[in-house]
Structure 1
């Protein structure tokens, strides 16, 4: 009978220890594009991993040379199994990172600052996490001041951040009560409203959208200064939320809006 020594415990790679230390307090950036956008817009990223570091840097050479140097200094390669254990749904780029969420006070200050040169998008009691992420991506692309949600949906939920491709860091994203909305005239989308094609949306507008199922809440409707309707063929019940936001922001941008800062 032979004596066996103490069982060795597999060591945890240092980068995974750092990940575990930050995971509860940070926002998950899921995929190369989310990390790319977060870095472009000033996010603090304490840790980032890749299942294929060389492949991620090749993507940066092709698609994001402006952040390639930062990615080179930040990305640590881990085994694919280790990477898959950090995310709910592995991304095709096999890249993940953690970012520090912007302070709520800073976002609230940005939303409340006047005069405001670009609108705030208000999602009134949204239900679909992916749609909320798509709206944040749209708002960032149009240079909107921010996106506010009412109700129970967390606009910083990992699924929303994934849908927003990391562009939460390019605009102010917060959850508020209707009574806490920033200043400015509220233009709320409603099928009974005035046709948007006859309106010029002001730069300081709050553009409010109800859920696809139930529309505007009673509180938001009471707060609205104007009800606005998108053109729609009879017997078509509604547009997808992100589509409605895109159409409205495009109308605003096409009627005298200040171009987003490059």
Structure 2
């Protein structure tokens, strides 16, 4: 992706839109200011970035993320609102969108499978809700987790997932794998009948597995678990939101680990 759209090399706004259309099918959609900010901050390859009001986006960056202002100043090309609206499924309120190259799968797999891994991998077993998956990736990046693995049919790089993750896919390793392809490490599976997490110390190289809110963990992952773990919950409350469960579990790990941020 080398069709840089900085307003000059490819014909200004018209050239930037042409570059977008050429690359959109193979690229990751960065929907909104925060997704673009995090992608730039964590080293993503961003060949084209469009904004309805370029000056407003740069002002927002100066206020919230001054470390990326120079990069955004080089990247952003201003286009009409109707033009940008036609290129994205749902225009973000910040009026900015960009395309990024997806990180190499081999690099992510190497990070997930690295010997002596010092932070957990979050495993989402057949997740169904795109927004929840994005929120989990955002949490995992914030806690410094080694990565997020999904099983099943959901694409963890779907635009809605990336939007929910605020572009923090680029801050950790995110991949879809079969249940038989999971990285090494002791598997801690979250379920209501497990041991209370407050009595456990989660190892740094753990796989932390969470089922969907509707169906829970698959029989395959449950059978492979080294430990079933439960979160404290008031009786007669059915379940926590998936992202809430992941956040509680990662917080518990972080409270007992010297490798947490």
Using the alignment, how far apart are the partners of 1:91 and 1:118 within structure 2? 33
- Contact in 1 for aligned 2:13/2:78 (Cα 8 Å): no
Rg larger in structure? 1
Question: Structure 2 regions of 5+ residues with no counterpart?
Answer: 1-11
Name the counterpart of 1:222: 223
- Contact in 1 for aligned 2:119/2:260 (Cα 8 Å): no
Name the counterpart of 2:99: 98
Distance apart, 1:223 and its partner CA? 1.3
How large is the Cα RMSD of the aligned pairs?
1.1
Name the counterpart of 1:204: 205
- Contact in 1 for aligned 2:13/2:79 (Cα 8 Å): no
Name the counterpart of 1:148: 149
The equivalences for 1:226-237 within 5 A come to: 226-237=227-238
Q: Flag the 1:173–1:79 CA change in 2: closer, same or farther, 3 A.
A: same
Q: Secondary structure at the match of 1:148?
A: strand
Using the alignment, how far apart are the partners of 1:223 and 1:31 within structure 2? 39
Using the alignment, how far apart are the partners of 1:220 and 1:40 within structure 2? 35
Distance apart, 1:259 and its partner CA? 2.9
Using the alignment, how far apart are the partners of 2:62 and 2:140 within structure 1? 27
Name the counterpart of 2:50: 49
Question: Structure 1 regions of 5+ residues with no counterpart?
Answer: 1-10
Distance apart, 1:12 and its partner CA? 7.8
The equivalences for 1:23-102 within 5 A come to: 23-102=24-103
Q: Secondary structure at the match of 2:98?
A: strand
Q: Which string of whole-angstrom CA distances, capped at 9 and with x for unpartnered residues, describes residues 208-239 of structure 1? A: 00010111001111111000000001111100
Name the counterpart of 2:178: 177
Q: Which string of whole-angstrom CA distances, capped at 9 and with x for unpartnered residues, describes residues 135-168 of structure 1? A: 0000000000000000111000000000000000
Using the alignment, how far apart are the partners of 1:145 and 1:93 within structure 2? 30
TM-score in terms of structure 2 length: 0.94
Q: Which string of whole-angstrom CA distances, capped at 9 and with x for unpartnered residues, describes residues 106-125 of structure 1? A: 10010000101100000001
Using the alignment, how far apart are the partners of 2:183 and 2:102 within structure 1? 21
- Contact in 2 for aligned 1:203/1:257 (Cα 8 Å): no
Using the alignment, how far apart are the partners of 2:115 and 2:95 within structure 1? 41
Using the alignment, how far apart are the partners of 2:28 and 2:257 within structure 1? 35
Distance apart, 1:33 and its partner CA? 0.4
Structure 1 runs of 4+ with >6 Å offset: none
Using the alignment, how far apart are the partners of 2:164 and 2:258 within structure 1? 26
Distance apart, 1:51 and its partner CA? 0.2
Distance apart, 1:257 and its partner CA? 3.8
TM-score in terms of structure 1 length: 0.94
Using the alignment, how far apart are the partners of 1:259 and 1:184 within structure 2? 17
